[in-house]
Structure formats: structure tokens, C-alpha cells
């Protein structure tokens, strides 16, 4: 019994190492110099560890890092609030055709985002909208509408009596929404915020196409970094430091909210 | 002079083809306690929701304290409601729950807090003010739900089966407490229940409903002693009223009810039926109007029957004895505790003329 358990743990440790190794090498190599990497010191410990690569990576990414924050934070806030509102309306304030809207959202959820790229580019051009963060924010907010489904499913288990009590108590639509519905949506918010932040932060295609040089998000800047090696020498150390840097915010979000994440995913599975 | 508390005229409501409420008329004075009682699906909760404004009527008018309200939204009707599942806001403390309605009416904070404290004192829930609903027991939640309604000091209280989720003991306690509160506050109240004990104990007026219609509207005494039809007679009262098939006929110029007891016909003269009438009827007799026979002759106007005992149900104070009248008919009698009845042994019972109801066998309507 003990032996079997030890075997299981050994196997799990092996898998864990397999997944962790690439990350470890990235981390190690980000502390090496270009010269050391060129000498073939790819696998060993850094001989003269320094933060030069990290400094260069930050110098290259810093501006786009800010862009990504300016993009992700408003998009996450706006789209999740909008999703809560839409989910509530779709679930509890049925109107003529609300079922059709629901089905459309469901379909939109399954369509790959690349499908929209060309029509969107043409539309923006015809509308005369310049590439900018504002435009990108608007696009992401609009394309995040299917998030409403998360909230709708949560509100299905919401007792109608509660809403009727609030109406008798004199709450109008907005008081109902902000004072009763929103505070009771926290578990869903945690899930949606994590998913949405990760998605928006890591999104590349729209970020590349619908921004210009100054409004580029971190993913686009990262790709640019790899493409623009000077004199044919690729600065792997800088690339790896930059990639790690770019991944930090999503990592932080998972670590901070991860505990609530699993709780939110199963919330509503069992009423109680 | 009394003023109108609640007046409903010609109220109708349907969902699709289904008529849920048909031409409801009700009128109670200010301060009266109205009970809407009936089996599930009779439309009583829909009627309450119409009064609250949570649903819209198809036709008819609703007046609260002399003001027409059926076109107003719930918050403008000056009502408060207590729900079956309490419907406390889980994200708020008890104090916030109590004050929410006042907050929505934009009361200043100081006055709001004073009122919340006052209501909490009244219901003895002051120690719970900082807790959240999840931390309360069922009875405590019920009190908070009541308090939330009380805080508003509305013109009309609406109760939607508020005690049905409590256990029997707590239910009796809360029922008494609601009655005490009402005696103190004298606010018009409408109370929906399917429990006929609650209906009898709480109401000034009872509206017995079935199939979307009011079967009878009156005082508890009238509903109990003079039910307007067979449905009301059968629905109200526990144990249930005895309903026996009989023939109404004229004999020597006198009206009699002919009953079949153990295969033998017995005639019971009646005075309170329309002269000259006849036909198939249903006799309604409450168990307390059927007594074990004493003495040689039955009391004046009573009918003595003898039938074997089928079942004895002691309840402590009273014992209910069920006898077999033959032909599938049973008769339940209320006897004082420690009755001498034995199962299988014939027992002599007197059917008393007081509280006797006679219904038309076809329409079910009261004839006497």
C-alpha cells in the first residue's frame, strides 16, 4: 500500500518535472549573457548571472506592458459588468425574443475569433476609425458578450422571491441589480475575471492588427522582439526574460484568485 | 365610521387560455385581517400577487385605503409582503434587511436606524441585527421577514403562506405572535394559507377559494357554521364535516330528510328548508353535532341512529368515534374523552339539528 502510494507520487513528480523544465530553462537562460548562450551554454547554470537581459526586456516591453494593462483592466471591468447585466436580463426579465438572443450568444461562443478579423478590419476602415487602444477595448468588450452565459446560468438558480421582495421593498431595476443581484454574483465574477483577464492579456491577433506602434499590447511587442534580432544574433536571454515578464500578471491573477476559481466553477452545481 | 382597507372589484386574470381568477370581489375594512384560503392551484397566491402589483390583472380594480392602485407599481402601493421562503437578502445583515425598504424610500439614515431598532425590539431580534440570514434559524428568519414588512408601516400587510416552512410547534407560536402583533398594530392584512386552522384562528374575514373563484366570503363563524356550499363545508374544519347522501321529501305536509342507516331508512324532520321542495341532497353535519346518545329519547329535533363502531381516534381532550352507516357511508362523532365506545360494538348516536347544513346534491349549494 505504502509502496503503491510512493510509486504514484514518483510518477506525479516526473510529470511535474516534465512540465516545469521548460520554465526552468527559460528562467536560467534569462540570467545568462548572449555571449554565454552563443558558446553553447544552453543547459547549464548561468556562469555569471546578471539582470542585464531583464533590464533590456523591460526597456523593450515596458511601454507595451502599460498598454496591455490599459487594455485588459477596462475590458475586464466593462465586459464582466455588461455580462452580469445581460445575463440577468436574459434570465429573469424575459422579453420577446430573449431565447433567440440566448442561442445567438451560444453560437457566437463557438465561432473562432479569427473569422471576424477581416470583416472587422474592413468595417473599421469604412467607419474611418484609426487603430488605437480605445478601438481595441471596444472590440474586445463587444466580442466578450457571450460571457453573459456564465451569469445567466448562475441566475437560473436565483430565487424569484428575492427579486419580488426587493420590488415590493421599492427597488427599481438598477437598485435591484446593484444592491441584490451583483453582490450575490461574486463567485461568477471571480471565474469571469480570471478567464477574461487571461484571455485579453494573452490575446495576440487583434492586438497586433488593431493597434499601431505606440498602442501595441505586450503580446504583439513580444512577437516583434523575436523578429527583430539585430545583426542576425537572436538575444535568447532577452526574449526569455521578456516572455516571463509578460506572463507575470496572469500568474499573479491565478495565484491571488485561484482559490476562489475552483470554488466559483463548481458554485451552483450543488444548491446550498 | 369605518373606512375601506381593501376593495377589489371584478378582478380577473388568465394565463393564456387558462382562467386563474374569475371576477373576484372582496371588501374589508381598515384594520381587518383577511384570509385567502383554498387548495393549491385555487388562485389565492395569484390574487395576492395582483394586490402586491407583482402581476397585472386582465380586468378589475384594486383599491387600498380608498386609493385605486391597480395601475401602480408595487413600491407605490404602500404595501409590505412576507414571503413563504422569507426571501431575506443573503448579502445583507439583519439590520440592512430591515432597513432596505426604508432606504429605497430615501429615509435619512438616523430615522432609518431608529425604526430598525424599534422593529427589532418589537420582534425580539435585537441581538441578531449584525448577523446574516445564513446564520439564523428558520424561526429567526421568519421574524426578520416579518420585521422587514413591519418597518415600512404600510397600509396593507400581505402574507404569502409565511408559516408553511416552520415545524408544527413553531408554527403555532408564530401564529399567536402574528395575531398579537395585529391586535397591537391594527393594520389591514391579507394572509394566504392552505391551512384551515390558521384561517380560522387569524382571520376577521375568510375568503374560501377554489378554481379561481371565491366560494364564500365571510366571518370564520359563518364560514364554519353556515358554509355556502359543499366545497366550503368539506374544506374547512378538522376532522372534516360528515357529508351524507339523503332525500328531501314532503311527508304529511312536513319536510323530512330520508337517510339510509345500516340499510334501514330513517326520516329526520327539518324545518329550515323551503316549503314544498324535494330532491337529492347532501346532509352536512360537523362531528361536534353528532353525540353519543344519552337517555331514552333523543333531544328535541335530533335523530337517533345506531351503528357499529369502525374506528376510535383519541386526541386527548376529545375522542373521535367513526361508525359505519352501511353502503360505504361513515359518520364521525366527537365524544368527550374516555368514551365507552368499543370497536365493532353498535353505538347509539344523536344527530343534532344545530349546525346542520343541507346542500343540493347536484349543484352543491346550500339549501337551508
A172 assigned to some structural domain: yes
Same domain, yes or no, for B214 and B346? no
Same domain, yes or no, for B227 and B256? no
Q: What per-residue confidence (pLDDT) applies to B271?
A: 87
> Is B90 in contact with A184 (Cβ distance < 8 A)?
yes
Instruction: State yes or no: pLDDT of B19 exceeds 80.
Output: yes
Smallest Cα distance from B75 to chain A, Å: 4
B367 assigned to some structural domain: no
Instruction: Select the residue from A92, A158, A168, A170 to test the B interface by mutation, using most B Cβ atoms within 10 A.
Output: A168
- The secondary structure of residue B318, as a DSSP letter, is E
Whether A169 and B76 have beta carbons less than 8 Å apart is answered as no
- What average pLDDT does the segment B332-354 reach? 87
Number of Cβ pairs closer than 8 Å across A and B?
Answer: 59
> Is B54 in contact with A184 (Cβ distance < 8 A)?
no
Residues on chain A touching B112 (C-beta within 8 angstroms): none
A190 assigned to some structural domain: yes
Same domain, yes or no, for B213 and B301? no
User: Looking at the partner chain, which of B52, B89, B105 has a beta carbon nearest the beta carbon of A170?
Assistant: B105
**The domain spanning residue B343 has which CATH number?**
2.40.50.140
A200 assigned to some structural domain: yes
Q: Which segments of chain B are extended strands (E)?
A: 4-15, 18-29, 33-37, 59-64, 67-68, 79-82, 156-160, 188-193, 205-210, 213-218, 242-251, 254-261, 264-269, 279-285, 290-292, 303-314, 318-326, 329-336, 346-351, 357-360
Q: What per-residue confidence (pLDDT) applies to A263?
A: 62
Same domain, yes or no, for B204 and B254? no
**The domain spanning residue B162 has which CATH number?**
3.40.50.300
Same domain, yes or no, for B61 and B160? yes
Domain boundary among B235, B257, B290: B235
B136-153 per-position pLDDT tens digit? 998 899 999 999 999 989
Same domain, yes or no, for B176 and B215? yes
B366 assigned to some structural domain: no
Residue predicted with more confidence, B32 or B327: B32
Structural domain count, chain A: 1
User: Looking at the partner chain, which of B54, B85, B91 has a beta carbon nearest the beta carbon of A167?
Assistant: B54
Residues on chain A touching B74 (C-beta within 8 angstroms): 167-168, 170
Residues on chain B touching A183 (C-beta within 8 angstroms): 91
B23-52 per-position pLDDT tens digit? 999 999 999 999 999 998 899 999 999 999
Q: What per-residue confidence (pLDDT) applies to B340?
A: 78
Instruction: State yes or no: pLDDT of B286 exceeds 90.
Output: yes
A132 assigned to some structural domain: yes
Instruction: Select the residue from A93, A170, A188, A271 to test the B interface by mutation, using most B Cβ atoms within 10 A.
Output: A170
B113 assigned to some structural domain: yes
**Terminal-residue alpha carbon distance, chain A:** 37
B365 assigned to some structural domain: no
Three-state helix/strand/coil letters over A14-75: HHHHHHHHHHHHHHHHCCCCHHHHHCCCCCCCCCCCCCHHHHHHHHHHHHHHHHHHHHHHHH
Instruction: State yes or no: pLDDT of B101 exceeds 60.
Output: yes
**Three-state secondary-structure class, residue B216:** strand
B344 assigned to some structural domain: yes
Q: Tell me, what's the ipTM? A: 0.82
Smallest Cα distance from A110 to chain B, Å: 34
Instruction: State yes or no: pLDDT of B253 exceeds 70.
Output: yes
Quote the domain boundaries for residue B31: 4-235
> Is B75 in contact with A161 (Cβ distance < 8 A)?
no
A54 assigned to some structural domain: no
DSSP element (H, E) containing B145 = helix B138-151
B301 assigned to some structural domain: yes
Q: What per-residue confidence (pLDDT) applies to B24?
A: 95
Instruction: Select the residue from B45, B72, B74 to test the A interface by mutation, using most A Cβ atoms within 10 A.
Output: B74
A51-76 per-position pLDDT tens digit? 888 998 888 888 899 999 999 999 99
A8-47 per-position pLDDT tens digit? 999 999 999 999 998 888 888 888 888 888 777 777 788 8
Same domain, yes or no, for B290 and B220? no
> Is B80 in contact with A170 (Cβ distance < 8 A)?
no
Domain boundary among B235, B270, B305: B235
Same domain, yes or no, for B215 and B253? no
**The domain spanning residue A155 has which CATH number?**
1.10.3720.10
B23 assigned to some structural domain: yes
Structural domain count, chain B: 2
B:174-233 residues touching chain A, CB 8 A cutoff: none
A79 assigned to some structural domain: yes
Same domain, yes or no, for B206 and B256? no
Quote the domain boundaries for residue A197: 59-266
**Sequence-ordered list of residues with C-beta below 8 angstroms from that of B122, at least 6 positions apart, any chain:** B147, B150, B181
User: Rounded mean pLDDT of chain A?
Assistant: 86
CA distance A240 to A2: 41
B:55-74 residues touching chain A, CB 8 A cutoff: 73-74
Residues on chain A touching B104 (C-beta within 8 angstroms): 169-171, 175
* pTM for the structure as a whole: 0.82
Of the pLDDT bands very low, low, confident and very high (cuts 50, 70, 90), residue A231 is: low
> Is B74 in contact with A168 (Cβ distance < 8 A)?
yes
Of the pLDDT bands very low, low, confident and very high (cuts 50, 70, 90), residue B234 is: very high
**Sequence-ordered list of residues with C-beta below 8 angstroms from that of A118, at least 6 positions apart, any chain:** none
Same domain, yes or no, for B259 and B204? no
- What average pLDDT does the segment B287-308 reach? 91
Q: What per-residue confidence (pLDDT) applies to A262?
A: 64
B11 assigned to some structural domain: yes
Of the pLDDT bands very low, low, confident and very high (cuts 50, 70, 90), residue B3 is: confident
Same domain, yes or no, for B36 and B90? yes
CA distance B167 to B175: 12
Instruction: State yes or no: pLDDT of A267 exceeds 80.
Output: no
User: Looking at the partner chain, which of A162, A168, A180 has a beta carbon nearest the beta carbon of B81?
Assistant: A168
User: Regarding beta strands B33-37 and B205-210, do their DSSP bridges make them parallel or antiparallel, or are they unpaired?
Assistant: parallel
A66 assigned to some structural domain: yes
Q: What per-residue confidence (pLDDT) applies to B278?
A: 87
A192 assigned to some structural domain: yes
Residues on chain B touching A162 (C-beta within 8 angstroms): 87, 89
A142-175 per-position pLDDT tens digit? 989 999 999 998 898 888 899 999 999 999 899 9
Domain boundary among B235, B266, B285: B235
Amino acid at each position: 500500500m505504502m509502496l503503491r502510494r510512493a510509486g504514484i507520487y514518483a510518477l506525479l513528480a516526473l510529470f511535474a518535472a516534465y512540465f516545469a523544465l521548460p520554465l526552468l530553462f527559460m528562467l536560467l537562460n534569462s540570467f545568462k549573457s548572449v555571449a554565454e548562450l552563443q558558446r553553447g551554454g544552453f543547459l547549464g547554470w548561468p556562469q555569471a548571472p546578471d539582470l542585464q537581459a531583464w533590464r533590456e526586456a523591460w526597456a523593450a516591453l515596458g511601454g507595451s506592458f502599460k498598454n496591455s494593462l490599459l487594455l485588459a483592466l477596462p475590458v475586464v471591468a466593462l465586459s464582466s459588468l455588461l455580462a452580469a447585466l445581460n445575463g440577468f436580463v436574459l434570465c429573469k426579465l424575459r422579453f420577446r425574443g430573449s431565447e433567440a438572443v440566448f442561442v445567438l450568444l451560444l453560437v457566437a461562443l463557438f465561432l473562432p475569433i479569427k473569422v471576424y478579423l477581416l470583416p472587422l478590419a474592413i468595417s473599421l476602415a469604412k467607419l474611418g476609425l484609426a487603430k488605437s487602444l480605445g478601438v481595441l477595448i471596444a472590440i474586445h468588450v463587444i466580442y466578450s458578450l457571450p460571457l453573459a452565459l456564465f451569469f445567466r446560468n448562475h441566475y437560473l438558480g436565483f430565487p424569484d422571491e428575492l427579486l419580488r421582495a426587493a420590488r415590493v421593498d421599492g427597488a427599481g431595476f438598477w437598485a435591484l441589480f446593484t444592491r441584490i443581484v451583483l453582490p450575490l454574483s461574486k463567485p461568477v465574477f471571480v471565474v469571469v475575471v480570471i478567464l477574461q483577464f487571461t484571455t485579453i492579456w494573452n490575446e495576440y491577433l487583434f492586438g497586433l492588427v488593431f493597434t499601431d506602434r505606440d498602442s501595441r499590447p505586450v503580446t504583439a511587442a513580444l512577437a516583434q522582439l523575436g523578429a527583430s534580432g539585430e545583426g542576425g544574433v537572436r538575444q535568447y536571454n532577452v526574449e526569455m526574460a521578456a516572455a516571463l515578464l509578460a506572463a507575470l500578471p496572469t500568474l499573479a491573477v491565478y495565484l491571488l484568485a485561484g482559490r476562489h476559481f475552483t470554488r466559483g466553477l463548481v458554485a451552483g452545481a450543488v444548491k446550498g | 365610521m369605518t373606512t375601506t382597507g381593501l376593495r377589489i372589484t371584478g378582478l380577473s386574470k388568465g394565463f393564456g387560455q387558462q382562467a386563474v381568477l374569475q371576477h373576484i370581489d372582496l371588501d374589508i375594512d381598515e384594520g381587518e385581517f383577511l384570509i385567502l384560503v383554498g387548495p393549491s392551484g385555487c388562485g389565492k397566491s395569484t390574487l395576492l400577487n395582483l394586490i402586491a402589483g407583482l402581476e397585472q390583472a386582465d380586468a378589475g380594480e384594486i383599491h387600498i385605503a380608498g386609493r385605486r392602485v391597480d395601475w401602480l407599481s408595487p413600491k407605490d402601493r404602500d404595501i409590505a409582503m412576507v414571503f413563504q421562503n422569507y426571501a431575506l437578502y443573503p448579502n445583507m445583515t439583519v439590520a440592512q434587511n430591515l432597513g432596505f425598504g426604508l432606504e429605497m424610500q430615501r429615509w435619512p439614515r438616523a430615522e432609518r436606524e431608529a425604526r430598525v431598532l424599534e422593529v427589532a425590539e418589537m420582534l425580539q431580534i435585537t441581538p441578531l441585527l449584525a448577523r446574516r440570514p445564513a446564520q439564523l434559524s428558520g424561526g429567526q428568519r421568519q421574524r426578520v421577514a416579518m420585521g422587514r414588512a413591519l418597518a415600512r408601516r404600510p397600509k396593507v400587510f400581505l402574507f404569502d403562506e409565511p408559516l408553511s416552512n416552520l415545524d408544527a410547534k413553531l408554527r403555532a407560536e408564530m401564529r399567536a405572535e402574528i395575531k398579537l402583533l395585529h391586535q397591537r398594530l391594527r393594520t389591514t392584512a391579507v394572509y394566504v394559507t392552505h391551512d384551515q386552522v390558521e384561517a380560522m384562528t387569524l382571520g376577521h374575514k375568510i375568503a374560501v377559494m377554489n378554481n379561481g373563484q371565491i366560494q364564500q366570503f365571510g366571518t370564520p363563524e359563518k364560514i364554519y357554521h353556515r358554509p355556502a356550499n359543499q366545497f366550503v363545508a368539506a374544506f374547512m374544519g378538522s376532522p372534516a364535516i360528515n357529508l351524507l347522501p339523503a332525500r328531501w321529501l314532503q311527508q304529511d305536509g312536513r319536510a323530512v330528510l330520508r337517510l339510509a342507516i345500516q340499510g334501514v331508512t330513517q326520516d329526520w324532520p327539518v324545518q329550515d328548508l323551503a316549503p314544498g321542495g324535494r330532491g337529492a341532497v347532501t346532509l352536512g353535519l360537523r362531528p361536534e353535532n353528532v353525540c353519543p346518545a344519552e337517555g331514552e329519547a333523543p333531544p328535541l329535533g335530533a335523530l337517533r341512529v345506531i351503528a357499529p363502531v369502525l374506528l376510535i381516534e383519541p386526541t386527548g381532550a376529545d375522542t373521535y368515534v367513526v361508525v359505519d352507516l352501511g353502503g360505504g357511508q361513515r359518520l364521525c362523532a366527537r365524544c368527550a374523552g374516555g368514551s365507552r365506545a368499543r370497536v365493532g360494538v353498535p353505538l347509539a348516536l344523536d344527530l343534532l339539528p344545530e349546525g346542520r347544513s343541507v346542500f343540493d346534491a347536484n349543484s352543491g349549494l346550500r339549501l337551508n
